[in-house]
Amino acid sequence: MDPKTGAVDLPEGIHLDLKDKFYFLGKKDATSVLTEAWGNPADTASEAIGMIFPAKYEPIAGNGWGIELRYEKIGHVDDADAASIDYTELLSSMQADTLSANDQRVKDGFPPIKLIGWASPPVYDFVHKRLHWAKELQFGDDTVHTLNYDVRFLGREGVFVMSYIATVEQLPEIKQSLDEVLGVADFNTGKKYTDFLPGTDTVAAVGIGGLIAGKLAAKAGLIAVALIALKKFGILLLVPLAGLWRFIRGNKGTS
């Protein structure tokens, strides 16, 4: 694994300024963490372009959390619907969609998902073109619920996605970190939301409500529901990577 801190430029036209508070893992390492260490289905991690973690946590720490990074080149998202969305109604629709996808999940050998509700209701920043919300999820009969805290940065040609992967018990820490996380990423000049050229650039098929509900993925036929959430499994799955990670961090510290 090759963790990076400080400034990181992604080929999608996104600049990360991690300083010393977070570290970045590239696509290959992120996929290994999500699938081999955390036990997620390979297809749910296939679009990850990386992950970031708080500097104080190793990716295999039982009490830690991470943020999956993706870029969705879906076009310029019109945010005109943001002020009129009924989030209670939207949640009910998402819960029904999640239930309808469970038969296929079980057939594929994975536990069903129950969308409990909003862990934090959606908030859209009209000025900075940033959207964030959190879902509380239950996998199978797990008594510890999973937190999926989603952040979207709107750009000229698509959306930069940050998805926290944590437990609901970590919500206070996640909320405390949110302002720092929102300040980590920005689109480069030419890729910003305000660089959009009407009549030239592609317009996304969904607005803000569609981003939250995951309707674009369903329209594109990629997956039945975009609530196939990444989840950390038991600590036993993390043990094989623990020694390797500490070795890497030790070498980084002495190099």
User: What digits encode the pLDDT tens for the residues 218-252?
Assistant: 333 222 233 334 544 433 233 333 343 443 444 44
Residue with structure tokens 């260490």?
Answer: 37
Q: What pLDDT, on a 0 to 100 scale, did the predictor assign at position 61?
A: 67
Cα separation of 55 and 201, whole Å? 38
Contact 53, 23 (CB under 8 A): yes
Cα separation of 228 and 98, whole Å? 8
The pair of three-digit structure tokens given for residue 102, joined into one six-digit string? 């469970």
Ordered structural domains, the chain, with CATH: 7-72+113-196+228-254 (3.40.1000)
Give the model's confidence band at 28: pLDDT under 50 very low, under 70 low, under 90 confident, else very high: very high
- pTM for this predicted structure: 0.80
Give the model's confidence band at 5: pLDDT under 50 very low, under 70 low, under 90 confident, else very high: very high
Q: Does residue 31 register a pLDDT over 80? A: yes
Secondary structure of residue 148 in the 3-state scheme: strand
